[in-house]
């Protein structure tokens, strides 16, 4: 279902709209693709306010059809317009695609896209919107029609967003299921290890003391920001009587190589 606000056609999943943001190509070009973006900021409203609009005529020449946070879906440029979102010059263009921006959960270092993370709730909120659009417009839910920005333009966008994981979430929503924000935890056995990054090997101060958890059985990896190992360890001692396993690794990149090293899959 759609909602019309001042001539802009949006999904009815929007929680608010900012139709003052700039759109163009008022030609109703059919939308056949979804382009997935990351905002490269944790500042949800500030990111949008920096775009060109009739209240910010000196803003950046950028926009999107939707901006998504963990709890909000903001309709920006209506689906009946093109947004300035992907710059695509091949078969996927601003005119024939819908751009969905996702706010980051960590403010990273602009030079290093691996520092920009996304929360589970934001990914699920975006995937829910994407599923609604795909079902309504008949866009196939696959890797050819739901693409990361970097597929159509030389950019690191959408940073750390895993497009295959994202599409899997969209498929679940399309079937009326809700992806679990986190895998189900079996009491006491799922956390196999923990890595504390004590040097800023991600290129930004935010990386210091970042903690990685993983489970060999589920392959689950989670990276909360700025978590505190002492508190986690106390929780572990309280609930299991044991200390958490803490491993160290080399500072090689990418991060999953470090995970493999700690799993003894790769010799350091
Ligand atoms: Zn982008």
The answer on pLDDT for 109 being more than 60 is yes
Strands 33-38 and 2-5: unpaired
239 CA distance to ligand 1 centroid (A)?
Answer: 43
State how far the Cα of 214 lies from the Cα of 135, in Å rounded to an integer: 34
pLDDT of 4 over the 80 cut: yes
**Cα 128 to ligand 1 centre (Å):** 19
pLDDT of 256 reads 65
How far, in Å, from the CA of 20 to the mean position of ligand 1? 20
Q: Does the structure show a pLDDT above 70 at 160?
A: yes
> Ligand 1 mean position to 261 CA, how many Å?
32
b/e 173-197 (16+ beta carbons within 10 angstroms → b)? bbeeeebeeeeeeeeeebbbbbbbb
Residue 169 Cα to ligand 1 middle (Å): 19
pLDDT higher than threshold 80 for residue 248: no
Choose the most confident range, by mean pLDDT, from 166-170, 182-186, 238-242.
166-170
Cα(11) to centroid of ligand 1, in Å?
Answer: 20
Beta strands in the chain (DSSP E): 2-5, 8-11, 16-17, 23-24, 33-38, 66-68, 73-75, 82-83, 97-102, 146-148, 193-196, 211-214, 221-222
Residue 151 CA to ligand 1 centre (angstroms): 10
pLDDT in tens, 196-224: 555 444 444 444 455 555 544 444 344 44
Taking residues 125-146, what's their average pLDDT? Answer: 97
User: Does residue 129 carry a pLDDT above 60?
Assistant: yes
């Amino acid at each position: 279902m759609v909602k019309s606000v001042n001539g802009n056609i949006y999904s009815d999943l929007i929680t608010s709209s900012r139709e003052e943001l700039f759109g163009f190509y008022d030609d109703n070009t059919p939308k056949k693709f979804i382009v997935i973006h990351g905002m490269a900021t944790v500042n949800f409203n500030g990111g949008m306010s920096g775009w060109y609009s009739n209240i910010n005529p000196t803003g950046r020449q950028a926009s999107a059809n939707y901006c998504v946070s963990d709890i909000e879906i903001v309709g920006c440029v209506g689906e009946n317009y093109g947004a300035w979102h992907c710059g695509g010059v091949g078969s996927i263009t601003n005119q024939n695609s819908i751009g969905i921006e996702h706010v980051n959960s960590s403010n990273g270092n602009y030079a290093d896209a691996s520092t920009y993370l996304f929360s589970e709730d934001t990914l699920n909120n975006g995937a829910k919107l994407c599923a609604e659009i795909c079902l309504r417009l008949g866009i196939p839910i696959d890797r050819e029609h739901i693409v990361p920005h970097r597929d159509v333009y030389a950019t690191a966008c959408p940073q750390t967003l895993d497009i295959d994981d994202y599409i899997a979430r969209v498929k679940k929503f399309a079937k009326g299921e809700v992806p679990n924000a986190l895998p189900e935890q079996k009491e006491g056995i799922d956390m196999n290890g923990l890595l504390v990054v004590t040097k800023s090997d991600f290129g930004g101060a935010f990386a210091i003391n970042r903690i990685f958890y993983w489970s060999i059985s589920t392959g689950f990896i989670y990276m909360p920001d700025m978590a505190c190992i002492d508190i986690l360890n106390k929780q572990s001692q309280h609930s299991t009587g044991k200390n958490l396993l803490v491993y160290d690794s080399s500072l090689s990149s990418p991060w999953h190589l470090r995970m493999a090293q700690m799993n003894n899959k790769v010799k350091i």
